[in-house]
Amino acid sequence: MRVYGTEITSRLLLGTAQYPSPAVLAAAVKSSGTEIITVSLRRETADGSGAGFWDSLRETGCRILPNTAGCHSVQEAVTTARMARELFDTPWIKLEVIGHSDTLQPDVFGLVEAARVLSSEGFQVFPYTTDDLVAGEKLLEAGCEVLMPWGAPIGSGQGLRTPDGLRAMRAHFPDVPLIVDAGIGRPSDAAQAMELGMDAVLLNTAVAKAGDPAGMARAMALAVEAGRLGYEADPMERRDMAVPSTPVLGLAEFA
């Protein structure tokens, strides 16, 4: 997979929030085999322990994808992105503009506007969006080269609520990297996303809140790999009726 000219081997991206300790986070990151971890500017600076947290992230050896988590306006998201670029020294930004407080659904109108501003300033934007095809087109026109449709509300663990919508996105944007972001709760959810043709999965809560985060991280990595291999193998179509796997010709006949 290539995003903004960078080749990525692992198709699992991992968030860094809500882990019980930096040691547990480090173990989960290692177990997942991920190459990209996301981090919120708010998490980095809010409690005064940002320097230590940042050091632990660098020790993972992963590429940092800062995000604008918790931003509810274009101005707030753009300002946060600018600060993140200075702090993390990267043009990459996972862009979130939240439009609904309960569902944390993206505000696609504000998202497009913010993406246009940031792209013009040299940012390489990873937009957290819905499976709306028109919104996707507008984001690409704004300068995005990747789309991150949600599977379900952030942290809900509901899995893929609209698999048909994601399937339509894959068909509509055959050459655009698509990364399912949010809602993944179990390895089967991750495998399903990859079987639909998604290029990668980004998740956080499902691993951070598991009884064994490192074990769940490994399970998610295997599910993503299995789902991708299944998609590339061109699986059989579903049928309404049974089709015998054993030939009916040549069966014994009894008089």
Active-site positions read 94
* SS3 (DSSP) at 11: coil
Pairing, β 2-3 against β 6-7: antiparallel
Q: Tell me if 155 is assigned to a ligand binding site.
A: yes
Distance CA 78, CA 229 (A): 37
Distance CA 203, CA 201 (A): 6
Contact 72, 102 (CB under 8 A): no
Q: Tell me if 183 is assigned to a ligand binding site.
A: yes
Q: Tell me if 204 is assigned to a ligand binding site.
A: yes
Place of tokens 């957290």: 128
Burial class (CB in 10 A: 0-12, 13-18, 19+), 150: buried
Query: Which residue ranges are tagged as binding site?
Result: 155, 182-183, 204-205
Known binding residues for 1-deoxy-D-xylulose 5-phosphate are 155, 182-183, 204-205
